Structure 1
Amino acid sequence: MHKFEKRILLSPPHMSGNEMQYIQKAFDDNWVVPLGPNVDRFEKDIATYLQEQEIYPIATSSGTAAIHIALRLLNLQEKEEVFCSSSTFIASANPVMYEKAVPIFIDSEKDTWNICPASLLRAIEEKKKTGKIPRVLICADLFGMSARYDEITDICNSYGISIISDAAEALGSSYKNRKCGTLGNYGVLSFNGNKIITTSGGGMLITHSKEEANKALFLITQARDQAPYYLHSEIGYNYRMSNILAGIGIAQLQVLDSRVEARRNVYSSYKNYLVDTPLIFLDEPEGYRSNRWLSTALIPDNTRISASQLIAHLNEYNIEARRIWNPMHKQPIFEKNEFFHTESKPISEYIFQNGICLPSGSNMPDDTVYRISEIIKLAFQ
């Protein structure tokens, strides 16, 4: 079988065709700054999409910035500990370090690959012995699959722990008919170029009160006090989204539902075409609806090829694939940080070693999915 002439990317941006009208409007009106009508509208459109009564989105320069501001709103202190998903991209944990605090990592569970409630309870029990239970949990929703929020929220409410729901990969997903990004005390979305919709670069902080939204807006615009001159009484940041990029977001959000359906179809096709291979695909538990941002699968132990070998095989055919996130507790920068798990073999380590992310673009035709699947089958022969 011949390799693809043009490289098949993991998750390329997919433009709707309507973005330029909002960009042009920003230029025509000279709104080429990090505020303006497009930003205001994008925030309102996100609020409408998320379908929550008390919700106040604030557009930021990145999802990472949104997490950082959530930590500032929670008044995180230097050396304070924060519970955090271990199986996630490092952007979930980095803002904790910005505040010179200490991330404590929690293992995954096998049904969603997200934070394991039992491991979280174990961490809390251990921290109770020190008399200092962390006040904050950063909970990532991996690859579009929601975490087990009923259990996690019950645990956190029992111990006064605030949840930052990192839904950077899960816009368009839902848990028991509630949209991901709304399921914590704060929510975080990402519009990076590889996400299900994009603003090139950008994010959104989801708050649940007007007061907190105003405080967030104050912090992301350099914390400038009300005065007839430049006056600053606390540290702020240049984290506001550009009016031009927000225009891209307005057009992208209009096609989000179709992008979700397209990626779900890609996942279904892979699962159907590869049914006779050893690959194990992660099904949706009851009450979950994933956007299938990336189609992922596990290669069981004792299979003739590893995840790395399958990725190398696909690369020979000009197809991009990658490993599942390398857990945070295995990163050199966090080698001294605590990690809590309940399985003898941590789930986050297993899915990293055995997992693979397949090309999942919403603009990828089904015959391409079929051809990729046939190339994957060759690797198992």
Structure 2
Amino acid sequence: MSAERIYLSPPDMSEADLAALTDAFRSNWIAPVGPALAAFEAEMCRQLGVAHAVALASGTAALHLALKETGVKPGDRVFCSTMSFAASANAVVYCGAEPVFIDSERAGWNMDPALLEKALREAAASGQLPAAVEVVQAYGQCADMDAICALCDRYEVPLIEDAAEALGASYRGRAAGSFGRAGVLSFNGNKIITCSGGGMLVTDDAALAARVRYLSTQAREPGREYIHREVGYNYRLSNLLAALGLSQLNGLPQRVARRREVFNHYVKRLGALPGVTFMPEAEGGTCTRWLSSLLIDPQEAGLTSHELMDALEAENIEARPLWRPLHTQPCFAHCRSYGGEVAEELASRGLSLPSQLTDEQQERVCRCVERAFAQKR
């Protein structure tokens, strides 16, 4: 493997990002307060059309506090998407609650509203409605938010939106992250914008934002003395990393456009290969194409998704399986689920190709995929 490695979704850094980071460093605002932190939150509010934002150490921290301050407590249940990274359900467990997993629908690979309705109807009949519904906007695409919001309103269950993978996406003209009582974003190193780590809670609820800000700084009371009436968390994002995030956020539309361009080129170049279907764009939404994801029918293609990933790895190209459904994870094996067959099928047949790369690198990826199919045929 002498060729330079092509990574799945590496950080997209610029000289402007370096300058912003350097300026913050020279200002000596290093700790988790400062002008860049406030500016990052304000700009996110402006771009998403929300009233409040609290920058935190990770998307998982934002999920934890969103659920906690929504009232999720030990013994509760939270209905959540099964097609997701483990952090979505881990945050439920941090609150002492039990995740109940809802399968995906095929139109966009996100939470199936019909199964959510069934789960809510059965929970209401038993007098055990969930403390919250947590919908994940997977792979940069929004779920059917009209249907999901309507169900949560009907049953009076709070909605938390895990938009960690979907910053820059929209649903019927409304930004991902702006639905429900709170939205959660991630700035991990492989996301569309990054602070190297970090996350954010966004909301129109002023009281919720104030509580999250308070708890994320160790629940210290205002004043000279160090008084703590509650147990808090060290969850606040640093001003230094916020400066980087703000610089990255200023180029968000261009970053989304580039990932969509990469995805569309894959579809044009590889979409006619036997057994290949790319992730659909759900009706009413604009997907960021955070990752360029596809499915392979092994009967038609003559090879499996894992065999294609092996072929790519042999040429020093990173690819990744789709999320293993959370209801199949060993640590959640005891949890209930509604459906699961769709997410399991997607996971068994799916993979993601590199989505942040140059035209020349994409040509190399495409040639490798074409060779793998030709060899199997």
Is the TM value for this pair above 0.5?
yes
Which residue number in structure 1 is paired with residue 359 of structure 2? 366
What are the equivalent positions in structure 2 for 1:124-135 lying under 5 Å apart? Answer: 124-135=120-131
Aligned 8 A contact 1:83 1:138 in 2: yes
Q: What residue number does 1:317 align with?
A: 315
Could you tell me which residue of structure 2 aligns to residue 173 of structure 1? 169
Partner of 2:142: 146
Render the CA deviation track for 1:69-100: whole Å, top value 9, x for unaligned: 10121121101000011000001111111111
- The one-letter amino acid of 2:287's match is S
Which residue number in structure 2 is paired with residue 14 of structure 1? 12
1:148 Cα shift? Answer: 0.4
| Matching residue of 2:222 | 226
Q: What letter corresponds to residue 207 of structure 1 in structure 2?
A: T
Q: In the alignment, what sits opposite 1:380?
A: 373
Q: Extract unaligned runs of 5+ from structure 2.
A: none
Give the TM-score normalised by the residue count of structure 2. 0.96
**Paired residue for 1:51?**
49
Partner of 1:335: 333
Provide the secondary structure at the position in 2 that maps to 1:283: coil
State the Cα distance separating 1:292 from its structure 2 match.
0.5
Distance 1:4 1:372, change over 3 A: farther
SS at match of 2:207: helix
- For each residue in 1:318-355, what CA deviation from the matched residue of structure 2 results, as whole angstroms up to 9, or x when unmatched? 110010000000000000100002xxx71110110000
Partner of 1:164: 160
Is 1:261 the counterpart of 2:257? The answer is: yes
Q: What is the distance in 2 between the residues matched to 1:311 and 1:370?
A: 16
Aligned letter for 2:81? S
Q: 1:192 pairs with 181, 188, 193, which one?
A: 188
The residue type paired with residue 154 of structure 1 is A
Give identity over the alignment, percent: 41
Q: Is the 8 A contact 1:263 1:292 kept in 2?
A: yes
C-alpha displacement of 1:129? 3.6
Residue 138 (structure 1) shift: 0.9
- What is the TM-score when the length of structure 1 is the normalising length? 0.95
2:73 partner letter: Q
In 2, are the aligned partners of 1:38 and 1:246 still within 8 Å (CA)?
A: yes
Task: Answer yes or no: is the 8 Å Cα contact 2:71–2:131 preserved in 1.
Answer: no
Q: In 1, distance between residues paired with 2:211 and 2:367?
A: 53
Unaligned runs of 5+ in 1: none
Aligned residues: 372
Q: What is the SS of the residue equivalent to 1:121?
A: helix
Shift in Å, 1:250: 1.1
Q: Tell me the secondary structure at the aligned position of residue 182 of structure 1.
A: coil
Q: Distance in 2 between matches of 1:21 and 1:365?
A: 23
Task: Label 1:4 to 1:121 Cα distance change in 2 as closer, same or farther (>3 A).
Answer: farther
SS at match of 1:164: strand
- 2:126 aligns to what SS in structure 1? coil
**What is the alpha-carbon root mean square deviation over aligned residues?**
1.3
C-alpha distance in 2, partners of 1:210/1:373? 48
Confirm or deny: 8 A CA contact 2:48 2:178 kept in the other structure.
yes
Q: Which residue of 2 aligns with 1:70?
A: 66
CA contact (8 A) 1:273 1:370 kept: no
Structure 1: distance between partners of 2:281 and 2:289: 10
Q: Does 1:285 align with 2:259?
A: no
What SS is found at the alignment partner of 1:189?
strand
Supply the AA of the counterpart residue of 1:280: T
Which runs of at least 4 in structure 1 moved beyond 3 Å after TM superposition?
Answer: none
Structure 2 partner of 1:89: 85
Does the 8 A contact of 2:181 with 2:205 survive in 1? no
